[in-house]
């Protein structure tokens, strides 16, 4: 899922205690599949991805984001995300 440069960047963010979270395609992948950053940040999920602890947009906000975008792939992602329980 993560290329080496991206892994190094995330590791550096973690080392420096940067406030960040993964959204978009990487978040879909991390979960197995239109919100404000501040709202999403409060409900972020910390997951381990390829040996690195990362902040990922929470499932409910990811679904809301996908529904807001509404592209066919986003709606397919929503169907998968709503069909799976964490």
Over residues 6-64, the pLDDT tens digits come to 999 999 999 999 999 988 777 777 776 667 778 889 999 999 999 999 999 999 999 98
Query: Per DSSP, what are the bridge partners of residue 48?
Result: 53
* Integer Cα distance of 75 and 4 in angstroms: 30
| Type and span of the H or E element at 48 | strand 45-49
Domain ranges of the chain: 4-83
1: pLDDT confidence band, cut at 50, 70 and 90?
Answer: low
């Amino acid at each position: 899922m993560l290329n080496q440069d991206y892994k190094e960047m995330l590791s550096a963010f973690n080392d420096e205690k940067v406030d960040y979270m993964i959204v978009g395609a990487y978040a879909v992948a991390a979960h197995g599949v239109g919100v404000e950053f501040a709202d999403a940040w409060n409900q972020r999920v910390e997951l381990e991805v390829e040996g690195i602890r990362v902040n990922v947009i929470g499932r409910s906000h990811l679904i809301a984001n996908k529904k807001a975008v509404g592209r066919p792939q986003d709606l397919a992602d929503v169907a998968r995300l709503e069909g799976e329980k964490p």
